[in-house]
Amino acid sequence: MPGLGQAVKRQAGRAAFLAATGAIFIICTWWIGQASSFGSALFFFLLLVLPWWAIQSYDAFLPALSEAEQRDPKAQSSHVGLRRTLITIWTHAHDIRYLGALFLLTALTDLYIILANPTYSLTIFCAKPAGLLGILAKAQSPTLHTLIGYGFLRLRRWSLLLYLAYAAFGLLNATANYACFGYGRVRTVFLFSLIVFTAYVLWRRNCFPISSSPRGVRL
């Protein structure tokens, strides 16, 4: 419940702000679903509302300032609002772990779509392979999403390389399908989000150590 943990910690102002923000996000999600589609609302929820929900939950989990820190102006200035929470998330690469959790979630949804629609064919480079090739084409999505999600959660270097290879394939495939079939809302959103998503992962590539040893060099 947004703001509940902060209220328990007697942070009334922050609790009220988070509760109001949560209400606004839920209303926006509902409005997008009504104005557009359930898929658009889900996309908004996963990329904006759910990360915010995780951040405020983590903020409620972190201990409050000690009495000594509360009397120290420098300590207070470095822990204003959600700043300490955001710094902790950034330092410990919890944003990458969140992306890993999203990959695992999409693996489950992909698997459900495949099982619920056995006749569904995945479009690959303007073609829809059938038979064994079609089954393998559909199976690669939940399989790779599971591997990447696990690797991101554990901050494994191989998962970064696997994701970049998978993203390159997805970009080429989406571009080819765009050229063959023209503009499509889902196709366009997927292509744009893939580019932004990959740019963010590359920006945070230092979260994936080259070596697991304490002296390992980071990229």
Question: How is the chain split into domains, by residue range?
Answer: 1-92, 93-219
pLDDT above 90 coverage of the chain, percent: 20
| pTM of the complete model | 0.75
What is the Cα–Cα distance from 211 to 208, expressed in whole angstroms?
9
Between residues 194 and 68, the one the model is more confident about = 194
pLDDT at 103 over 80: yes
- Averaged over 199-207, what is the pLDDT? 92
For range 142-155, the mean pLDDT: 93
Indicate if the pLDDT at residue 1 is higher than 60.
yes
What is the model's pLDDT at position 211? 61
Of 195 and 65, more confident = 195
Residue 160 binned pLDDT confidence (cut-offs 50, 70, 90) = very high
Is residue 11 pLDDT above 60, yes or no?
A: yes
pLDDT at site 218: 42
pLDDT at 87: 85
Q: Would you say residue 135 has pLDDT above 80?
A: no
What are the backbone angles phi and psi of residue 127, rounded to the nearest 5°? -125, 155
191 band by pLDDT with thresholds 50, 70 and 90: confident
Q: Report the pLDDT averaged over residues 178-205.
A: 84
**What's the pLDDT tens digit per position in 44-92?**
888 888 888 888 888 888 776 554 445 455 544 444 567 778 888 888 8
| Least trusted range by pLDDT, from 27-36, 76-85, 146-155, 175-184 | 76-85
Q: What is the mean pLDDT of the chain?
A: 80
- Note the pLDDT of residue 80: 53
The full 3-state SS of the chain, as one line of letters, equals CCCHHHHHCCCHHHHHHHHHHHHHHHHHHHHHHHHCCHHHHHHHHHHHHHHHHHHHHHHHHCCCCCHHHHHCHHHHHCCCCCHHHHHHHHHCCHHHHHHHHHHHHHHHHHHHHHHHCCCCCCCECCECCCHHHHHHHHHHHHHHHHHHHHHHHHCCHHHHHHHHHHHHHHHHHHHHHHHHHCCCHHHHHHHHHHHHHHHHHHHCHHHCCCCCCCCCCCC
pLDDT of residue 147: 95
Q: Is the pLDDT of residue 177 over 70?
A: yes
